[in-house]
Chains A and B, each alone.
Chain A
Amino acid sequence: MKTTISILLTGVLCALPTVALAEPTPDAEAKKLLARFDNEPTVNEVQQAALTYAAMHPEQYETMRTRSRFAAVLPEVRLRVTQDKGDDQKQYQRYSESGAAAEPLSDTSTTDENLELQGEVKWRLNELVFNRYETAVVKEHRQVAKERQRILQSVTQVYFERRRAQVDLLLAPPGDAAGRTLAELKVAELTAELDGMTGGAFSRMAAER
């Protein structure tokens, strides 16, 4: 059957000698090759997954400085309730100029319950303009942004290292079985590393495609 089809097609080709076709360029070939990995997550998706896994969202600091100032609109409130349970005894004495003690002026003793309520509200109006904790927020924001960059650069590096290993496997596969196994192991190792950085999201996203 295959022979018959081949003969028929050869006949068709011979009957149409003017039919011609243009061949693709190396660029098209390279893009076609890279298109094989379209079923895998993009670097941008992997970066986002890594940031989500690390709970790195420096954006949440964006409005913190403003919010810290707005917070000064609300007062600090203090409430105090005191009740004096103890006896209160006071003795006042008068002294003469010579220093000798004179008779007591009074001797007071109270045992009544002395309930007292105190309340205080305090506005730091200056913090509407500048909150002293702004400097700490900026510092913390910078630290988080730095850590975020470290994660992004790491995950990007591993992602492309893995992609290069995959391309090498396709275009220049090792000749022997051992070499090929090692090359495949390298891809698997880098895949695991990406999974480690993304909490397994890399493999999960790849499987969902």
Chain B
Amino acid sequence: MPAALWFALTTLLAAPEGGVWLPTTGHAGERAIQAMGAGGDAALYAAGGGVVYRLEPGAEWTRIGRYAPRLTWEAGGEIVAHGDLPGSLLRQVEADAEAGIETPDAGDGREVVPREVKQALLAQFVEAQAETPGSPYAVAGVVPAPQGVWIATGAGLFRATRDGLTGPRQDVRGAVHSVLHRPTETLVGTDTGLWRIPAEAPAVLLRGGRVSALTESQGSIYFLADGRIFGGATPDAAHPISAPSPQPLAMAADPGGLYLATRFAVYRRSGAQWRLCASVPTPPSRLVTGEGILHAVAADAIYLYSESCGQVSRVGAPWPGGFGFTDVARLGGLVWASANQGVFMLTPLDADTSLAVQMEGYRRAVTGIPSMDALVLRALEVHRLDSQATDVGLRPAWAQLLPELRAAARYSPRRIETLDRGTRMTEIEVTRPKPDWQVMAYWRISLDRFLGFATVSPLDYFEANALDLEDDLEAEDALDGAAIEEVFDGTTSEIVYDDEALSAGEGPEAGLLEQYEDAAISMMASEKKRVAAERTKVVTQLRRLYQQRQNLLYRLWVQRSKDLLQRTTLLLSVDELDARLSAMTGLNIRSTGRSSEEANEAK
């Protein structure tokens, strides 16, 4: 109760804004980043979406390796994990993906997933996994180490340097939550316990339990194990210390003291006493100390504390939408923040920079979805108005070159008639039934199909789209005796059929067929016109939605109305346009959602 009331009362107090976040360029500049940190080699490292990036002063972000696999959706429907990682990790991720991704089916049990939807589903899976503690995609921290950083992930402990990425270390078991590098050893907190990695030696388990935070202050080591705070000169000598709240969320330390964040407040421990620091409206997910400053990372802002932690300044998201901060780091006197939309650097607030950042945010929002022409192509595909769906090419013409093959067998008795001239009587002998085989290859080639208006036979088109001509064209069936006239043959009493009927072209049906052909050609022409009109309609509608989205984003990102109702309505309108564009294109378009590496690669 006091904590809740305290929170309610402190929300009445305000602090100044601290600056503006300037986007960075390069690979990590626009990707979803889970954690970042300054390395011992004076470079910044960032990790997210399975990839580790590095930024040297004055350079651009570069990709140096993968801590979690890249996923692809194979043609056979299986999801495959790729990467220079242990096979067991790849298999685990594949199994997680198979279990975690729900695929729509076509209604008859078959899974039918368009290519873009597969990309979106994989991106959503990676995104969700990154927020799941213990997942190989989750990054708990990027911690300074000589020549680089340690990277704590759900798949284990990785080491990143200028030369690349190595890991996960096989001697540390469990998902890694925290790392503390010391001159002679590295301490690692995992799901399974607290581990010590001496220099050039295998890791040793010091104690069991889930160790979620590790830090060092004034010669003492502190860690959070199973929700309790332990402290001592060494990990072995650590003992429980009192906590201001039973549910600590994050812990950090600097030479000035130990800091602890709970759901409602941030505390500082100096001596043996906990003191309340300035509070923040949203519970911080991380506390980071650097260059004498405590930083609290909340989803909507980074909070920078004064030295005594009594004052806090807030630096909110550079632009609206689904922006969410994930980590903060200090290097070279600058503050860097990672977010689900890239890595940013804090700069002093001035009108020009602010406008430039807003325009950059607007540019990213506009270009955050595939280009107009890509959307048009996709929409035509979804509407089955693309050339692949409507055009059959010369296939019908070439198909004529293959014959119709028929094999017929008749199993019947024969009658042998013998005329006895003396008695003038005919003797008939009925033989035992025996088979009679007939094989026929039948071509009907219309050469004009190779050059003419319609490569498809008008009659075939008419039959497939309008009427069943089977009844009218039965004479076409050369072996169907019922449709062919019997003729008299004086040499035998067998039933004899008219061979001329096999040609099936000169009979009374010929006039009817011509009419059918005329009607079919007319139908084909009108169908082509209808498809062209529908195509124009889809393109026009899509262009209108696309432009409407750009206008709305400009109002939302750059003009920035202060009116809550107006902003909320604008956000809703953007969401609606996204939903309409998604429906038209079969893509998963989210202007105010989070971008991920896979989503960016899909563009």
Do A and B share a complex?
A: yes
In the bound complex, do residue A116 and residue B312 qualify as a contact, i.e. CB atoms below 8 Å apart? no
- Which residue of A is nearest B592, CB measured? A31
Q: What does the 1/0 interface line of B1-33 toward A look like (CB < 8 Å)?
A: 110011001111111010000000000000000
Output the nearest chain A residue to B394 by Cβ-Cβ distance: A130
Residues of B within 8 A of A48 (CB): 104
Cα of A117 to Cα of B410 in the assembled complex, Å = 6
Residues of chain B at interface, number, CB under 8 A = 106
With beta carbons under 8 angstroms apart, the residue of A43, A52, A141, A145 that contacts B579 is A43
When each residue 362-375 of chain B gets 1 if its CB lies under 8 Å from chain A and 0 otherwise, what string results?
A: 00000000000000
Classify chain A's interface size: 35 or more
For the residues of A in contact with B, the DSSP-based class is helix
User: Does A27 count as interface, using CB distance less than 8 angstroms?
Assistant: yes
CB < 8 Å neighbour of A126 from B6, B382, B403: B403
Min CB distance, A149 to chain B, in Å?
A: 7
Q: A22-B15, A116-B410, A119-B408 are in contact. Are A138 and B389 (CB under 8 A)?
A: yes
Q: Which of A42-67 contact B (CB under 8 A)?
A: 43-44, 47-48, 52, 55, 57-62
**Which A residues touch B493, using CB under 8 A?**
90, 108
- Decide if A129 touches B276 in the complex (CB within 8 Å): no
A21 lies within 8 A of B461 (CB): no
Is A18 a contact partner of B463 (Cβ separation < 8 A)?
no
Q: Let me know if B565 and A171 touch, CB within 8 A.
A: yes
Tell me whether A133 and B279 are in contact in the complex, defined as CB-CB below 8 angstroms, given that A22-B14, A112-B430, A121-B407 are known contacts: no
CA distance A90 to B390 in the complex (A): 59
B203 within 8 A of A: no
Chain B window 456-468, contacts with chain A (Cβ cutoff 8 Å), 1 for yes, 0 for no: 1100110111000
One digit per residue, 1 when the CB lies within 8 angstroms of any chain A CB and 0 when it does not, for chain B 533-574 equals: 010000000000000000000000000011111011101110
How long is the Cα–Cα vector from A117 to B390 in the complex, in angstroms? Answer: 45
Pick from B280, B313, B406, B582 the residue with the most CB of A within 10 Å. Answer: B406
B interface, over-half SS: mixed
Asked if A156 is at the interface (CB within 8 A of a chain B CB), the reply is yes
Do A167 and B572 touch across chains, with their CB atoms under 8 A apart? yes
Q: Are B6 and A47 neighbours in the complex by a CB distance under 8 Å?
A: no
Q: How far is the CB of B156 from chain A (nearest CB, A)?
A: 33
- On whether the beta carbons of B413 and A115 are closer than 8 Å, the reply is yes
| Interface positions of A from 13 to 57, Cβ below 8 Å from B | 13, 16, 18-31, 33-34, 43-44, 47-48, 52, 55, 57
User: Is B576 positioned at the interface, with any CB of A under 8 Å from its CB?
Assistant: yes
Question: What are 15 inter-chain pairs, A to B, with CB distance below 8 A?
Answer: A21-B312, A22-B281, A22-B301, A22-B314, A26-B562, A55-B107, A57-B105, A59-B112, A60-B112, A90-B493, A110-B415, A120-B406, A125-B404, A134-B464, A142-B531
* 6 closest A-B pairs by CB: A22-B314, A18-B310, A59-B112, A132-B460, A129-B399, A152-B583
Mark B residues whose CB is within 8 Å of A: 1-2, 5-6, 9-15, 17, 104-108, 110, 112, 114, 276-282, 300-301, 303, 306, 308, 310-314, 316-317, 320, 382-385, 389-390, 392, 395-396, 398-413, 415, 417, 419, 424-426, 428, 430, 433, 456-457, 460-461, 463-465, 479, 490, 493, 527, 531, 534, 561-565, 567-569, 571-573, 575-576, 579-580, 582-584, 588
B-binding residues in A (CB < 8 A): 5, 9, 12-13, 16, 18-31, 33-34, 43-44, 47-48, 52, 55, 57-62, 90, 92, 103, 105-108, 110, 112, 114-130, 132-136, 138-139, 141-142, 145-146, 149, 152-153, 156-157, 159-160, 163-164, 167-168, 171-172
